[in-house]
Structure 1
Amino acid sequence: MTNKFQMSMMGEMNFFLGLQVKQTEDGILINQLKYTKELINKFGVQHMKTVKISMNTNWKVDPGMEGKSVSSTKYREIIGSLLYLTASRSDIAFAVRVCARYQSDPTEAHMDATKRILRYLKGTQNVGLWYPTDEIFKLLGVAARYSQ
């Protein structure tokens, strides 16, 4: 019996529904490194500084936040992209869902919150889900052990 997924005659699985899958003797790593890099470039944060947390815990996000309104279409595009990324990045799920509440009338402050999440992702691109093959199963978020 093998610890790897088997895909009949297709060989070892590397990508599945946009998720990158890396299988080793120690376990399986699932992440979205390629997609994360695309988001960072697409939404223009590649030259911004990274941040250590995805949402400032002292910051209150609410519908009446001051600031000019921004394009709800652009805001929804960022939120949709980030929601897709939460499939392998549970560390951003809370922050993304808080920001997703304000899609109908986002302000500059709401947009800044989404950019902060993207800046966090820039500094943590290799993070993914690690499923070890040992007997004791613990779900761990770890940096990728391979490069794209």
Structure 2
Amino acid sequence: MVCRLRRSLYGLKQAPRAWFERFASVVTAVGFSPSAHDPALFVHTSPRGRTLLLLYVDDMIITGDDSEYIAFVKACLRENFLMTDLGPLRYFLGIEVFSTSDGFFIFQEKYIQDLLARAALGDERTIETPMELNVHLRASDGDPLPDPTRYRHLVGSLVYLAVTRPDISYPVHILSQFVYAPTSVHYSHLLRVLRYLRGTSTRRLFFPRSSSFQLQAYSDATWASDPADRRSLSAYCVFLGGSLIAWKTKKQTAVSRSSAEAELRAMALLTAEVTWL
């Protein structure tokens, strides 16, 4: 006896691929084309403007200049899928969006509150900075945690929070290097980041409507900042007009033999990002 599946079943290995192929066939039939930079981003261009559709599993954002075409796309999606229109964008994958006449704010205040609730801190203290100055953590600092699960869970949550909080990019980069064997010292620095977030949970990124399209980029490096392998740290941020659109903190792949060499490696990393943008 053979059972032929006429549609994909949820949970099968091929189900995500089958779902994406089905969705892509529907949106390409109405005029969208997949972006060369991201296969889950679909673009439609016409004399009336440009329309963008971003897909993440079964959640999507539709935006653009052509309101009539957006209404047409929604009608086509309703004909093919069981779809719910949630209206103007306010919340997407833990990221909150607030629109004003001057621009857009993106933030993760609710995500931070949920993270603090899961962390179950025993006090209500707040701290002004996410990490102390000139701290160089080692893998041998402190006593190993009996159960590193909580540390790994919290650091993983902070990695996603750094999507809208560039101010914690550096401490999250440092703390994520010890997830394989965290110690009590590493956990204390993790709690410091959480207390910093408690006092700054309302901070937001602002994207003005009347922003120029001029790229401005800044890079920096710390020479031999890791006491274990003597590798330096690269960091950069990129602005499009007055909007911060890209940032990164990353350990360099090779040992720099001078501070000038470390700075040049950071500039090379930034140049590659600016060229791509």
Q: Which moved more, 1:118-127 or 1:52-61?
A: 52-61
Would the alpha carbon gap of residues 47 and 106 (structure 1) be closer, same or farther in structure 2, given more than 3 Å must change? Answer: same
1:54 aligned residue (121, 125, 130): 130
Would the alpha carbon gap of residues 114 and 86 (structure 1) be closer, same or farther in structure 2, given more than 3 Å must change? Answer: same
**CA contact 1:72–1:105 (8 Å) conserved in 2:** yes
**What is the aligned partner in structure 2 of residue 134 from structure 1?**
210
**What is the aligned partner in structure 2 of residue 79 from structure 1?**
155
Q: State the distance in 1 between where 2:88 and 2:122 align.
A: 32
| Superposed displacement of residue 113, structure 1 | 0.8
**Letter of the structure 1 residue corresponding to residue 164 of structure 2:** S
Q: State the distance in 1 between where 2:105 and 2:166 align.
A: 14
**What is the aligned partner in structure 1 of residue 140 from structure 2?**
64
> Helix, strand or coil for the counterpart of 2:178?
coil
Q: State the distance in 2 between where 1:65 and 1:14 align.
A: 43
2:172 aligned residue (91, 96, 105): 96
Q: Which moved more, 1:78-87 or 1:41-50?
A: 41-50
Task: Tell me if 1:26 matches 2:102.
Answer: yes
Q: Deviations over 1:12-71 (max 9, x none)?
A: 210122210001101000000100011111102373310000011133211010234342
Q: State the distance in 2 between where 1:71 and 1:17 align.
A: 29
Q: State the distance in 2 between where 1:135 and 1:92 align.
A: 25
> Helix, strand or coil for the counterpart of 1:101?
helix
> Helix, strand or coil for the counterpart of 2:204?
strand
Would the alpha carbon gap of residues 21 and 46 (structure 1) be closer, same or farther in structure 2, given more than 3 Å must change? Answer: farther
The answer to which structure has the higher strand fraction is 2
**Letter of the structure 2 residue corresponding to residue 139 of structure 1:** S
Q: State the distance in 1 between where 2:127 and 2:201 align.
A: 12
**Letter of the structure 1 residue corresponding to residue 209 of structure 2:** T
**What is the aligned partner in structure 2 of residue 146 from structure 1?**
none
Would the alpha carbon gap of residues 23 and 61 (structure 1) be closer, same or farther in structure 2, given more than 3 Å must change? Answer: same
Q: Deviations over 1:69-107 (max 9, x none)?
A: 342211110111100101100110110110000011111
**Letter of the structure 2 residue corresponding to residue 138 of structure 1:** G
Would the alpha carbon gap of residues 132 and 46 (structure 1) be closer, same or farther in structure 2, given more than 3 Å must change? Answer: farther
RMSD value, Cα: 2.0
Aligned length: 137
Task: Tell me if 1:13 matches 2:89.
Answer: yes
> Helix, strand or coil for the counterpart of 2:211?
coil
**CA contact 1:75–1:103 (8 Å) conserved in 2:** yes
Bigger relative contact order (CA 8 A; separation at least 6): 1
**What is the aligned partner in structure 1 of residue 264 from structure 2?**
none
Identical counterparts, % of pairs = 30
Structure 2, gaps ≥5 residues long: 1-47, 49-62, 72-84, 213-240, 245-277
